[in-house]
Structure 1
């Protein structure tokens, strides 16, 4: 069986980092971490499709990135929990960009509630986005990456919750992120013969709009149940003395998506400022 991964040892650092001529898809790309990832991929030269539930925000982000970096950036509404919606987005990427070389499964939700108060709907929605969404995105990306034999890279945005439990109320989130980390390993095994590498990036808490809103909502639910939760500022402690930023994570994703990481597949990179040491 042939495993088509080139030896890139003789190529320059500039060439290894470049994504010029490549086509990338980022889910949950209208704001926060997804938008930061899309920006770094665009800066490296990739043409992009931005996917988000908020079509207007995705369109605005696409226009901004196209103007800033001079690459082609399309956008579309898609629901990562719906197979037909994800397939349609992947088809749009092929139609608009000519193919898919990089797919970033970034879309995620961060609900938290004490387990005794967690409704079925919260559990189901969390796994639908954070686990099923990774599976659907990876499957549709792999189908198109392998159609012409060109291969590619799938990057799954996981979380330090894929390897630990930071505080109470995270049963659904932690479970879904452990699932995503396990899928990253299994997908790498399945897809290596097709020339597709699969990597995870696991950030610690990054204060994006969505993460802050979810953390506050969880703290309020816990307080109503008489359960003490850690304050938000507990997440600011790290070995580097500050919280991570979206661009901190985006740079790690760029490494994973580029040929700098050619030797790697199945691994999850901990972008956590030492939190899990």
Structure 2
């Protein structure tokens, strides 16, 4: 892809972990990429600089996915700067870990706002700018399909909601040639859930492969859905979980 024919992607929560892996993979695939971050401008700017030095076109925007106006603003900034949006990756998320009885109301509200509401808002805002062939990919969780241990009810609820939202948007946007899918990771080695963390050995036992995945494993699935191979895949929930839900 070159010049005005180059496709544009927006990745929310793209400064670290799975999001950063997706940003890098899409840049390598030939997309111009915008991504958002909330705090910690240093890693966001470092990723932006690294990829631009490598010859890619990447821009970071500060935007809190809990703020509906900021979510819409990030989409509009992307369109304004690049002139098009071909792919939206809804990756921003938080993962509260507590029994139902111990979760404060403000945590409930913020988790729903970031993990679910922002996906709804970003998707409908981006879809306004998409042409036939546009793609929307959300990052869910294997815990949105099946919950194998306690303490994640709120998180699982928000990720399960993405499955229904994805199926509904696939119907709404299908007539326009826009596909909508959700990728559902299992244990992935990130700073939020490191492969050497206190729960790591237990989480490994839940997988069929006995190991953590890497951010690049999720990025590879996003790349597939964003490419020619994903053109006839829509409304799907795709597990990349090492067999947790096998």
TM-score by length of 2: 0.92
Q: Determine which of 14, 33, 46 is the counterpart of 1:29.
A: 14
Is residue 225 of structure 2 the alignment partner of residue 256 of structure 1?
A: yes
Q: CA RMSD in A?
A: 1.8
Q: Report runs of 4+ in structure 1 exceeding 4 Å deviation.
A: none
Query: What are the superposed Cα offsets for residues 30-61 of structure 1, whole Å, 9 maximum, x if unpaired?
Result: 01100001111011110000111123432221
Superposition deviation, residue 116 in structure 1: 1.7
- Indicate the residue corresponding to 1:204 in structure 2: 186
Number of equivalenced pairs: 240
Is residue 201 of structure 2 the alignment partner of residue 233 of structure 1?
A: yes
Q: Is the 8 A contact 2:6 2:32 kept in 1?
A: yes
Distance in 2 of aligned mates of 1:142 and 1:167: 36
- Indicate the residue corresponding to 2:168 in structure 1: 186
Q: Is the 8 A contact 1:74 1:96 kept in 2?
A: no
- Indicate the residue corresponding to 1:121 in structure 2: 106
Is residue 225 of structure 2 the alignment partner of residue 272 of structure 1?
A: no
Q: Is the 8 A contact 1:202 1:269 kept in 2?
A: yes
Is residue 89 of structure 2 the alignment partner of residue 107 of structure 1?
A: no
Distance in 1 of aligned mates of 2:161 and 2:84: 28
Q: Is the 8 A contact 1:202 1:270 kept in 2?
A: yes
Q: Determine which of 3, 26, 39 is the counterpart of 1:41.
A: 26
Is residue 48 of structure 2 the alignment partner of residue 62 of structure 1?
A: yes
Superposition deviation, residue 150 in structure 1: 4.2
Distance in 1 of aligned mates of 2:17 and 2:47: 11
Q: Is the 8 A contact 1:28 1:107 kept in 2?
A: yes
Q: Secondary structure at the match of 1:211?
A: coil
Distance in 1 of aligned mates of 2:111 and 2:63: 17
Q: Is the 8 A contact 1:22 1:47 kept in 2?
A: yes
Q: Secondary structure at the match of 1:92?
A: helix
Distance in 2 of aligned mates of 1:108 and 1:166: 20
- Indicate the residue corresponding to 1:166 in structure 2: 148
Q: Secondary structure at the match of 2:213?
A: coil
Superposition deviation, residue 273 in structure 1: 1.2
Q: Which entry has the higher C-alpha Rg, 1 or 2? A: 1
Unaligned runs of 5+ in 2: none
TM-score by length of 1: 0.82
Superposition deviation, residue 167 in structure 1: 1.2
Distance in 2 of aligned mates of 1:140 and 1:101: 12
